[in-house]
Every structure is written in C-alpha cells, then in structure tokens.
Chain A
C-alpha cells in the first residue's frame, strides 16, 4: 500500500495526512467536526445522506467529505455559510418525513438526528405536506429486533453492516426515494445471527431492541464498563441497569477494541443476571437428598471440615475459565497453599498435556497478539473449530478486514461456517486430523522450497497425497495454500479449540510457525478459545503442571481426567467445582456421574443449579460478570479491567470473598482480600502482568517454555462405521458454556438442543430443517430437531454442549478420539 503523505488546508489550517484519507477523517484530525449519518467507520462509503457536504475551493458544487479522498493542496471549508445552510436544509428535508414521536421512541435522548438538529438544524420546518408513513404499528423482525420504518433516515448503515461485517445480508432497501424502507424481504421475520448490529449502528430509532423496548430512557441508566463472559474474544461492553435490573448491554464505539461490534450472546445474554433461577443462598444437602439453606458461616465451616478431613492428597478443585484473573489466582493459591494440593484444572474437557502443547504452539505464554494485526496479514489461515459460532466477533473482524483489504483467507475446519463465504479457499478436514493437514502443508511447503531446519527431516519422508487421504483435503488445495504461504509477506494463523479437544496438531503447528518464521518472517498466531478467560486461567497457574506465570510446578497434580479417575476409585475426599459444570461438559457423562457420586464432599459454587450441583453436598451461590470487579485476559492476551454494574443480590458472594474467607478459616494468615489487593500480587508474581496498566493493555511475555514439541507424523482417520456421524460439540452461536441457557432472550433465539448436519447428509436421511431426528449412541437416544449447515460434509454432526438435560456428552466415549453417533429420521407413529 502506498503511504505517501498529502498536505491540504482545512478551514485555513494546514494538515498532513496519509494518501487516500477521506476529507472527513482529515478534518477530524484538524479538529473540525463534520456531522454525518451514513458514514460509519469500517463500512464501505455511500455518501447518501449529504450531511457531510463541504466546500472545496475550485469546485462549483459542495462535495460529500465521507467519500472524497484528500488531494494535495486542497483547500477545504467546513464551516462556511453555504455549508451551514446546506446542513440545516438537509435536516429540514429529513424532518419532513420523520415522525416527531421522540417521547415514545426508545432512541430519544441518544438519537443522532436529535443531536444534529439541535446543533445544526433549522428551528422551524416549512413543509406542510403529510408525512410518508410506511406502517402504523412497529413490527417485529426477530425475537430481539423491532422495526419502525417511519423513523428511518435511509442511511443504509444497517444494510451495509449486515452484509459487510456480519456477513448475513438479510436486510435490504425496499422501494425507492421517500418510499425506501430498510427491512427484511417482505418484512418477514429474520433468520440471521440476531446480533443486533443493525440496532447498534442505526442513528435513529428505526431498529430497536425488543427486550429493551419501553424499559427506560437513556438518562435513567447507570452503566459500568464490563467484559463479555461468553467467549474469549473478550469484547468490551457497557452494562446498563435501571434500578437493580440490568436492562441492556451496549458496545461503546469509543471504548474497547471491538468498537461497535457485539454478537447475540454479548448483546442479549446479559439477562442471565436478572434470572429468577439463580442460587441465592448457600445450600446444604440433607440426608434425604433435599437442600436446606444455611448461613455462610455454617457453609464455610462445613467446607473447612471437609478439607481437613480429606487431606491434601485426597482433595481437588476445578475452576471455570470464565472467572476473573483475581479469582483464578486466588483459587490456585488457596488450593496450593491452604489445601496443599496441585490437583486442579481450568477445564473439564481436555487433558493437561494437550493444553501444554497448545500453549507452546499458539504462543500463549508469550505477549499479546492483536486480532487486527493477525487479520490484516497477507494470508490468514483459520485452523480447526467453528470460528463463526465460537467467536462471532472475531469472525466479524476477519470478514470486514478481508472485504476491505482483499487478503487471502484460508479455512480448514471439519464443519461449515459462515466465514466460508469470505474465504478464498475453504477446506473441510476430517475431525481430529488438523495435525495431518498441517503435516501435508509442511510437506507441500518443503516440496516448493528447500528448507533446512531442525525437525523438518521427518517431513521429507511424507507424501502430500497420503496425508490428504487422512485429513480428507484435496492435495491440490493443500499445494495451493502452500504456494500462497510462500509468497505472502505476512501470515496470520488462528488456531481453534479442536486442537485442545482432540490433542491434535499442536506439534505440527509449532513446526509450521517456525518454518514460516524462516521464510515469511512476519507470522502471528492467535489462539481461538471458547471460555472468556482461558488464557488468564493458564497465566494464573490454574493448571496441574504449571504455577503462575508458566513456572513448572514443583509437584505435579492431577488434571481433570486424573481428578475424575481418582474420584471414581473413591480416592477423593473433597472436590471444589468453582463455576465449572464437570458433569455437563466432561466427555464421558456416565463415568463422571459415577465418579462425582463417590466424592467424599463435593462443593459446587455456581450462579445456577448446574448439572453437577444436585450431586453436591454443599452448593454456594456465586456472583457473575457485571457483579464483580476484576481483570480478564482474552485470547489475544489483552488484559481488560471490568467493573461491577451492581452489587450481587442478597446472600450471593463473589468467589474472591468465598475463597478468602474459607482460606482464612483454615489458615489464619491467608488474607480476606479485595480484587485490588490480588491484582497487586498478580503484578508481582505473574511475569507479563507487571506492566499492565489502565483499563486495557496487552500482557507481556513470560520466558519459560512449557512443553517440548516433537511431532510423531503418524496419522489415522478416526474410526467411523458406514452411515454413522462423527459427533462434534462446542458453543452454539446463541449460547456460551452452560450459563447462557438461563438467559430468557437467548433461549428465545434457540430454546433447546439441536443437531446440525450438512445438506448432503440431510438429503441422504430425507430430513429438512426443523425435522425431528433420533440421535443414538452408547445406549442413549435423543430426539432433536435438525439444523442444516451448508458446507458441512456428510458424516459430521454437531450438537451444542450448552443445554442441561440434553447433554451432548452422553454420546461421548472417552477412549475414542472422536465419538460417533447414528442419526435416523424420527417418524411419528401412524405416519
């Protein structure tokens, strides 16, 4: 890209900007504010609203500054009488059809039209004609979006954001001129991401939030800057409450790396906080199996007795990777110092070894990598997982950057995803063969260019065809990707959680990164994680083999697999599940159910009655995001501070307070602390966090290597009988972990479990979208509605892991790499 500089004059002030800059941005830099409607950063220019017209010396007509790039020696005037008169006249035109129903409109008080009319507008309208009315009553476009076309100013931001950023393109402009209406085709209900981006970008009250409809006015709200807790993209959001009820979550364009972007989970999943189903007091299990409320003093006393009775060897804990850094740090300190054990984990889904390998390959222990830098690389490779559903906002960022820069986007994953449409090449790998795919890529790279590098000797013996047979990707495609990688100036690799789940491909990825560093030099790896603070959990040392800052533990403990095995053998006297639903997520439900029932004393601290909670001896309530202060580290390594929007209700306490008091009860010198105190300790103890300041900053690197990576280069296709499906699981687009199922709004988007298969498989089975099928494996049967995903090959099925009662992990066999299920169309009797 050319980066020549251009000097021009704006209102007589000289300003030097990069070539290609818009006059609007140059004026902003010079300190002049130009009003706009249709302009939106990161969207394609349109220039339709004519609010940003400016005068340019030598040109007879006024020019729209939002689509006119600067030219050398331009002389621009933004505040002349003509410009001011034009602005006022444009607003008068807009108001000629805009219904003045501000008192009723939800946007009133934060409306851009209101603001601009107040600032630039005419004080009187001269139009006496009737206003154009598209409809009398607001109509519902989706469970979260309500539309009033009468208020539209036809800026087309919603249409463009839906197409260019979200990638759905379900909105369009119907009609022309004053009769133009931005809406869905025939005003029907939308089948889309329900992300609400159209609401966020709408300058007026044309698109509105249905859950927030007529709940408050903007000035009623008390807000706090928080961080979304549903995935590791870690979007900054502002939670707003009226009274004690949280009424909306918004993305502040001035705040956070995600700017205006949020997905459905982030924007509408806030109402879990208001849920009536939340655990409100500590509960202790009676002899007859029922729960009785107890005081916190009594509960902590019981916990202390159980810890002392069990002893360090027979105690363990699993903390959720959605907690804050402070809580996770204190948790591991409590387990190591007070309980005296290293039996702990921050996941219930993968082994400690696989996480060690992934950390090393994805550079987790290193400093942060910005998602923007990664997405702006010449070639971007997405490996494994389902980026569009696991990390929707990362998907949005990749899409609009790809749309603007036209760089090469390559996707290799087992399931089809929305981002496929933006990718230059999208290949489907057989589940759990990412390693084979990367090995094939390595071989193809070596074929094209001689590389002498440690660890590459073994690659020479492989053949691309053989490996492509394993991973199911065409050998020509692999060679095409390799050719692209070799000519690229920079490469970004996004590594998904499939690598962790199936302990697959991390070694090869590390080798690929080293190889590319030798050839391309500029290589960035971004891990794609599905739990909000997974990276923070590892940084804080909630890991059986690692202490804070990736220091190897002096004494290794058991990971989640070890803990479950220990419990199964009756060797566990105390187990503390902090926000983690092991029963619902561990990949062998029958086994873990048996194991949990054999634990001497099971303590579950969570916000809701999770699957594991009814098995507990003691259930403790827990505060969730929005109710606590702390820091979170997202997948990029960006440490973000979050604030509480309200205090937890009644007897609900933060894990920090619970752990502090429990620790203090057992050991007198274990302090009861506040988040700030723990943060100071983290800054001292955890390398990379010492320099973190303010609301948002990248963490630094820590030096210790966590694993030796030596690829074995032996691969096999996971077993699958003819007609069976490999069953994959993970987050659904509308649901994250086990928390979001308690959000009423998200439940309206997806109320229960579904099974997702490709269109070829659906054709083979003779089922359509929404038809019921019977999923069967390991003696379990479940009737579920079908969702068809374009691009997913036959033989791959997906079930979200987010729903109690329809748990996907019943179908999993711990001993198999990828479990398989049989799917049959379900016919009602008599059909």
Chain B
C-alpha cells in the first residue's frame, strides 16, 4: 500500500518537473547544438562521390590535348543497351592520337544503365564514367550528350579522391540550373563519421 502511495508521489513530482518531456527533448536539443548531418545541397554544399563512382560519361584527352578516342566502336559493341553511337572519320591534323577520330560520339543517358562496360572495352581509356550524377532534364533529347559536351573537362578531375562534401554554389544560367562545386573547399572530409 505504502509503496503504491510513494509511486504516486514520484509520478506527480515527475509531471511537475517535466522530466519525461526533457528526456524526449534531450535528443532534439542535443542535435540542436551538435554539428549538422544534413548536406545543404544544392545551395551551399555538394557530395563528391568516390573515384569508383560511375556517373555520366566523359571523353578524355592526353597530356598534349589530343583526343584519346580512336573511334574503334568497341564501346558501342560492348554496350548492353545500345545507348552509344560512334561514327569514325579520318583526320590527321593532330586532333586525336591516331588519324582515326570520332565524327560523332554520343550517349543516350536515358538508356544508359551505368554498367561501365564501355570503360572496360576502351583500348585507350578515352571513355570514362565520371562523377557527374545530376542527370535530370526537362526533355528526353537533352539526355543525349554529344562529343563536344563529353570532351569538356570534368568538374571533378579524374585524380581527385572524392568521398566528401565540398562547398558549392547554386547557379541559374541561361542553359539551366547547375550546382558548381569548389572541390578545394571541403566542408567535411569524413562525412560518414557523423552518421
């Protein structure tokens, strides 16, 4: 009987002092003062994937700026979805490493399943799956990337290690919107530790 009475008192005391509420709020309050886990994408931050990541395609050049692609069409042959089109042409002006260069090199990212077989097939390491993962577009034809676009230097260089959040800027230009990362300003090198 007595014990029952004591419990009742404690209960009242807990209620008066908001103990349970504080207990619940403590998690919330703790996160309120701890460092944020959320990536403030796209306005301030952007996740740069690891090197092994397979994003949109990119065509590489050698150190002298010559195109590495020799338009051998092995990537086309290897592609399980048939999303790559290559048409070769002859050009011995020094545009490529051989006198055979692509006249057309395009990839339809809507069809692509990012398996990376094209990379494996490429005898000159011209085609790589880069770290561009922002593939949304308003029009399906916009998802087809042509040679000029693919030859542009990547935002994240091949040698950059990745696996971190860096600061970024959200830009709205005539061509559309994009999130421009600044890879030399890492926000959080070891983001996973926080989770």
Contact = CB atoms under 8 A, between A and B. Distances in A.
Interface residues of B, number: 16
Given A103-B70, A103-B123, A103-B124, A215 B98 contact: no
A104 interface: yes
Interface string A205-221: 00000000111110110
A379 to B, nearest CB: 50
A695 B90 CA distance: 38
Contacts of A101: 98
B89 interface: yes
B92 A103 contact: no
A184 B160 CA distance: 53
Given A137-B92, A214-B90, A215-B88, A104 B73 contact: no
A217 B86 CA distance: 10
B77 A214 contact: no
Contacts of A220: 73, 76
B100 interface: yes
B112 interface: no
Contacts of B70: 103-104
Interface in B89-122: 89-90, 92, 98-100
B72 A108 contact: yes
B71 interface: yes
Interface in A103-149: 103-104, 108, 137-138
Nearest to A103: B72
A102 B70 CA distance: 10
A104 B72 contact: yes
Interface in B49-74: 70-74
A213 B88 CA distance: 9
Query: What interface size band does chain A fall in?
Result: 10 to 19
Contacts of A213: 90
Contacts of A104: 70, 72, 98-100
B89 A217 contact: no
A793 B186 CA distance: 90
Contacts, number: 33
A213 B71 CA distance: 12
Given A103-B124, A137-B92, A217 B98 contact: no
Nearest to A242: B87
A137 B99 contact: yes
Contacts of B76: 220
A217 B90 contact: no
Contacts of B92: 137
A213 B100 CA distance: 9
Given A101-B98, A137-B99, A214 B71 contact: yes
A102 B73 CA distance: 11
Interface in A69-125: 101-104, 108
Contact of A214 (B88, B123, B124): B88
Contacts of A215: 88
Interface in A165-223: 213-217, 219-220
Contacts of B123: 102-103
A103 B71 CA distance: 8
A214 B72 contact: no
Nearest to A108: B72
A528 to B, nearest CB: 40
B96 to A, nearest CB: 10
Nearest to B103: A214
A216 B104 CA distance: 12
Interface string A384-428: 000000000000000000000000000000000000000000000
B61 to A, nearest CB: 17
Nearest to A210: B90
A114 to B, nearest CB: 13
Residue from A101, A216, A217 with most neighbouring chain B CB atoms (10 Å): A217
Contacts of B88: 214-216
B105 to A, nearest CB: 14
Nearest to B77: A219
Contacts of A102: 72, 123
A217 B100 contact: no
Nearest to A215: B88
B99 to A, nearest CB: 7
Nearest to B122: A103
Given A103-B123, A104-B100, A214 B89 contact: yes
A217 B74 CA distance: 9
Contacts of B89: 214
B73 A217 contact: yes
A103 B99 contact: no
A217 B90 CA distance: 14
Nearest to A138: B99
B113 to A, nearest CB: 21
A245 to B, nearest CB: 10
A455 to B, nearest CB: 64
A809 B89 CA distance: 42
Interface in B113-167: 123-124
Residue from A102, A103, A108 with most neighbouring chain B CB atoms (10 Å): A103
B73 to A, nearest CB: 5
Interface in B1-49: none
Nearest to B73: A217
B100 A214 contact: yes
A138 B70 CA distance: 15
Interface in A623-672: none
Contacts of B71: 214
Contacts of B100: 103-104, 214
A216 B124 CA distance: 19
A219 B121 CA distance: 15
B72 A217 contact: yes
Contacts of B73: 217, 220
A141 to B, nearest CB: 16
Nearest to B101: A214
Contacts of B90: 213-214
Contacts of B98: 101, 103-104
Nearest to A243: B87
A258 to B, nearest CB: 30
Interface in A754-770: none
A610 B98 CA distance: 43
A219 B72 CA distance: 11
A552 B182 CA distance: 91
Nearest to B126: A103
Contacts of B124: 103
B74 A103 contact: yes
A354 to B, nearest CB: 50
A138 B98 CA distance: 11
A220 B84 CA distance: 13
A102 B72 CA distance: 8
Nearest to B71: A214
29 contacts: A102-B72, A102-B123, A103-B70, A103-B72, A103-B74, A103-B98, A103-B123, A103-B124, A104-B70, A104-B72, A104-B98, A104-B99, A104-B100, A137-B92, A137-B99, A138-B99, A213-B90, A214-B71, A214-B88, A214-B89, A214-B90, A214-B100, A215-B88, A216-B88, A217-B72, A217-B77, A219-B77, A220-B73, A220-B76
Nearest 6 Cβ contacts at the A-B interface: A103-B72, A214-B88, A104-B100, A104-B98, A103-B123, A217-B73
Given A103-B98, A214-B100, A217-B73, 12 more contacts: A101-B98, A102-B123, A103-B74, A103-B123, A103-B124, A104-B70, A104-B99, A104-B100, A137-B99, A214-B71, A214-B89, A215-B88
Interface of A: 101-104, 108, 137-138, 213-217, 219-220
